[in-house]
Amino acid sequence: MIQLENVSKVFGTPRGEVRALDEASLRIADGEFVAVCGPSGSGKSTLLSLVGGLALPTAGRVTVAGQDVAHMSPAERAAFRADHLGFVFQLFHLLPYLSVLDNVLVAATPATRATARQRGSELLERFGLGDRLSHRPGQLSVGQRQRVAMARALLNRPRLLLADEPTGNLDPANANALLDLLSEYQREGGTVLMVTHETYAAERAQRTVTMNEGRIQAA
């Protein structure tokens, strides 16, 4: 599902170049649940951004679902993300002026739009939010908002779920509930790549990748 071959990512800053990734190589099989761990600034989120096509490598090759992400046009990458990837972020990124259901439907594509409302409602019901469809995000608890974000990520039945510190703003009970949803998605055939600094979250994955100073130390 994911293959990184000698991938480097260098950012230019007023103080000079910063090497966020340094010749990182990694393979993740279809259907795996992998956690990426390491200290702040180790390159975890940069790796996730490259896999998701949100950034491009300075050197090396990033292949996702058989596609070379860097060789796509911006429009092709956007379409690829919509069709194949789901994203769950620490800060949820919900639109405060939309209802819970409409926040989920933001992810709908032309191919899924006809059935999106029904699927979105079913996902929210499954996640215990069936009575909150018309609520605004500000009327929900933190844990409920992350479940809305999870429903949005799953709307288009993605093959790969990318989670960036998904438990970072959650209390232990809600964190474990979110991890249960990630594990359930993986058991149903999906692939999960999760960045986390929480030991208990990493323990829920099948495999842990450790990073430090832009390098993969153990995979």
CATH number at residue 141: 3.40.50.300
Measure the CA–CA gap between 33 and 123, rounded to whole angstroms: 21
The tokens describing 72, both together, are: 């796509």
pLDDT tens per residue across span 100-146: 999 999 999 888 888 999 999 999 998 989 999 999 999 999 999 98
Measure the CA–CA gap between 149 and 155, rounded to whole angstroms: 10
For 51-119, the three-class secondary structure string (H helix, E strand, C coil) is HCCCCCCCEEEEEECCEEHHHCCHHHHHHHHHHHEEEEECCCCCCCCCCHHHHHHCCCCCCCHHHHHHH
pLDDT for the residue numbered 219: 63
Domain hosting residue 33, numbered range: 2-218
Partners of residue 16 on adjacent β-strands: 13
Looking at the 3D structure of the chain, how many domains does it have? 1
Nearest residue to 89 via CA among 173, 169, 181? 169
Instruction: Tally the C-alpha atoms within 13 A of residue 1's C-alpha that lie toward its C-beta.
Output: 21
pTM for the whole structure: 0.90
- Ranges of the chain whose pLDDT falls below 50: none
Q: Compute φ and ψ for 152, nearest 5 degrees.
A: -60, -40
**Residues above pLDDT 70, as percent of the chain:** 99
